Amino acid sequence: MLSIIKTMSLQGLDGYLIDVQVDVTGGIPNWDIVGLPDTSIREAKERVRAAIKNSGFELQSRKILVNLAPASTKKEGSLFDLPIAIGILCSIEKIKKENLEKTVFIGELSLDGRINSVRGILPICIECKKIGVKRLIIPSVNSLEASIVNGIEIIGVNTLKQVVNFLNNEEKILPSKTDWTDVIKNINKLSLDFSDVRGQEEAKRAIEIAAAGGHNILLIGSPGSGKTMLAKRISTILPDLSFEEALEVTKIHSIAGTLPKNLPIITNRPFRAPHHTISPISLVGGGRIPKPGEVSLAHYGVLFLDELLEFNRNTLEVLRGPLEDGIVNVSRANASLTYPCNFMFVASMNPCPCGYYGAKDKECTCTPQAITKYMGKISGPLLDRIDIQIEISQVKYEKLDNMQKNETSQIIKERVNKARKIQIKRYKNEKIYSNSELTPKLIEKYCKLNNASKEILKNAFERLGLSARAYGRILKVARTIADLQDCINIEKRHIAEAIQYRSLDKKYWKN
C-alpha cells in the first residue's frame, strides 16, 4: 500500500518541501530508496529497519520502495529517517492516516528507535509556516529552537514508538511553546564589558569609531598589551540586533548546529575567534554536506583573527571574497548555495617577530629587514579591507592600579547606536547601512571636505607618503568620527583624527 509523508530539506538557508512516497508490497523482499539520495540516505535504510524492529513492529519480508520527490533536487542529511519510518508503518497499517494531514516530519533515528536532533530546524520551521503546514513533528531537543516561530504546532518527540502512539491518539503530547520571558532573561547577559579594561583610552576610542561605522580594524601591539582583551569586547558595543537580523543569524547557527543550548534565538551579535590552524573550508564554509563557515557564523557580528600572521596564507586568501561581497558561494555538484557573511573584521598581531618593536619597556631584537619581511606577510588586498589600524601599548601601572570607574559597554554602545542611526537615515536610498560600505562614488557624494580639511589631508599625504587607497579610507573614517559628534560636515579635527589611523602605513608598509 502507498503512503505519502511530508518532510522538508534545506538548500542553503532555505527549506523546501519533499514528499516521501513509500510503497510496501508483497513479493520478493527488497528495499530501495530512489530520488537522488546521498550515502547518508542509503544508510537510513539500516537505521530505519532497526528502529522499526526495536520499537516492537514486525517488518516481515516485504518489498519496500521509497521515493523522495521531487527527484531533481539533491537531498542530504539524516532528517529523512523519521518520515521514511512513518511512511512504512503507515503502509503496513500500524498508523492511522487521518492524523497525517498538513503535518511535516523531521528526525534522525537511532537503531533503538530514539529520535536524535537535527541541524537547521529554524529555517525549516519558517518555511513550513510560510507554506501553510499545520504541524511539525520533530526531535524534542530541537523543539525549543523551532517554537520561536509562531502559528505552527511544534510537537517534540523522543522515540518512534511515541510518534506512533501520538498519531493513533493513544498518547497526548502538548505543543512546545517558547516563554518569551525566559528568553529575555538570557538576552544581553554578557560577562565581558569594556569597563574591565583599564586605561587604553586611545585604543577604546579607535574601537568605538570602528564599531560606529562598521569599519574593519587591525590591532598591533606587543605581547600582553591587551589586544585580545580589547577585541573580545567589541561585540558588546555594537548596536542590538533587530528581530529580523536575530532570525537570520539564528538560521545560520541552526544549520551549522552551533546554537547554544536553552537559547532558541540568538540575540547577541556573534563573536567568532577561530584558531589559526583553521582550514579554509571551516573558515568560509562548504564541505561534502555543506555547512556555513566561521565567516557566516560571524554574520552581523565580529570575526576576530587573533595573531593574524599565524594563519596560513591560503586561509587568509580565501577571506578576500567574503570580506568584499558579504556573501559566500559554496558550489556543489549540482547546486550552488549562498550563505550571508556580513561581519566586522578584527585582527590582531605583534609589530615584529620578537614582539617588542616600538615597546617602551623592552628592547626589540629584530633587524629592520626582519620587521619589513614580517609585516609584508599580510597581503595588500587584505590590508586594503582594513580601515583602521592602531598600535596598542602596554598600559601603565598607575592606570592598572587606578580603581576609578571606567565607561561601561552600555554607555559606549549608546553613542555607537546614535551614529549608526544617522548613517542608516543618510543612506536610506543607497542600499548601504554604514560608512564602511561607501564606494568611491558615494565617498565623493557624502564625504565632501572644506578647504581647510583638504589642506590637512594634502599635508598628511606628503608627510606620511600615503597611497590613493588610504585616501578613501581616511574619508570614510572621518565621516564616522563626524557622525559620532553629530556633525553634518566633516571638519578639520575629524580628518586629523582619521589620518592617525593610517599612520602605520608608512611605519610598516611604506605603501
Q: Is 229 in the site for ligand ATP (CB under 6 A)?
A: yes
Q: Is 273 in the site for Mg ion (CB under 5 A)?
A: no
Which residue lies nearer to ligand ATP by CB, 230 or 382?
230
Q: What count of other Cβ atoms lies within 10 Å of the Cβ of residue 168?
A: 12
Q: Are 2 and 40 within 8 A, CB to CB?
A: no
Rounded-to-integer distance, Cα 199 and Cα 346, Å: 20
User: Which amino acid, 422?
Assistant: I
Rounded-to-integer distance, Cα 48 and Cα 28, Å: 19
- The residue from 327, 366, 395, 496 that contacts Zn ion (CB under 5 A) is 366
Binding track over 353-372 against ligand ATP, x by CB under 6 A? --------------------
The listed partner (Zn ion, Mg ion, ligand ATP, none) that binds 357, CB under 5 to 8 Å by sort, is Zn ion
User: What residues have CB less than 8 Å from 142, skipping those under 6 apart?
Assistant: 106, 117, 118, 121, 156
Q: Is 357 in the site for Zn ion (CB under 5 A)?
A: yes
- The residue from 231, 316, 354, 475 that contacts Zn ion (CB under 5 A) is 354
Q: Among the candidate windows 37-45, 157-165, 175-183, 193-201, which touches ligand ATP by CB under 6 A?
A: 193-201
Rounded-to-integer distance, Cα 483 and Cα 498, Å: 13
Q: What is the DSSP string of 291-328?
A: EE-HHHHTTTSEEEESSGGGS-HHHHHTTHHHHHHSEE
Nearest distance, CB of residue 218 and Zn ion, angstroms:
18
Q: Among the candidate windows 25-33, 91-99, 120-128, 366-374, which touches Zn ion by CB under 5 A?
A: 366-374
Rounded to the nearest angstrom, the gap between the alpha carbon of residue 131 and the centroid of all alpha carbons in its chain is: 26
- Among the listed residues 116, 130, 114, the one whose alpha carbon sits nearest the alpha carbon of residue 77: 116
Q: Is 227 in the site for ligand ATP (CB under 6 A)?
A: yes
* C-alpha distances out from residue 424 to 352, 428, 475, Å: 39, 6, 18
Rounded-to-integer distance, Cα 86 and Cα 93, Å: 10
Return the residue matching grid coordinates 553634518. 488
Nearest distance, CB of residue 346 and ligand ATP, angstroms:
12
Q: Is 225 in the site for ligand ATP (CB under 6 A)?
A: yes
- The residue from 54, 110, 186, 228 that contacts Mg ion (CB under 5 A) is 228
What are residue 131's phi and psi, to 5 degrees? -95, 10
Which residue lies nearer to ligand ATP by CB, 152 or 378?
378
Q: Is 220 in the site for ligand ATP (CB under 6 A)?
A: no
CA angle 41, 125, 294 (to 5 degrees): 75
CA angle 90, 177, 79 (to 5 degrees): 40
Q: Is 192 in the site for ligand ATP (CB under 6 A)?
A: no
Q: Looking only at residues 164 through 183 of this chain, which bind ligand ATP when binding is defined by CB under 6 A?
A: none
Binding track over 324-353 against Zn ion, x by CB under 5 A? ----------------------------x-
Q: Is 224 in the site for ligand ATP (CB under 6 A)?
A: yes
Q: Is 228 in the site for ligand ATP (CB under 6 A)?
A: yes
* Residue with the CB atom nearest ligand ATP in the bound state: 226
Which residue lies nearer to Zn ion by CB, 373 or 445?
373
Binding track over 243-262 against Mg ion, x by CB under 5 A? --------------------
The listed partner (ligand ATP, Mg ion, Zn ion, none) that binds 102, CB under 5 to 8 Å by sort, is none
Q: Are 306 and 231 within 8 A, CB to CB?
A: yes
Instruction: Region of 438 please: left (phi>0), alpha (psi -120 to 50) or beta.
Output: beta
Q: Are 40 and 71 within 8 A, CB to CB?
A: no
Q: Is 223 in the site for ligand ATP (CB under 6 A)?
A: yes
Q: Among the candidate windows 9-17, 26-34, 68-76, 228-236, which touches Mg ion by CB under 5 A?
A: 228-236
Q: Is 274 in the site for ligand ATP (CB under 6 A)?
A: no
Nearest distance, CB of residue 196 and ligand ATP, angstroms:
6
Q: Where on the chain is the footprint of ligand ATP (CB under 6 A)?
A: 197-200, 221, 223-229, 350, 395, 400
User: Which residues of this protein are in contact with Mg ion, per CB under 5 A?
Assistant: 228
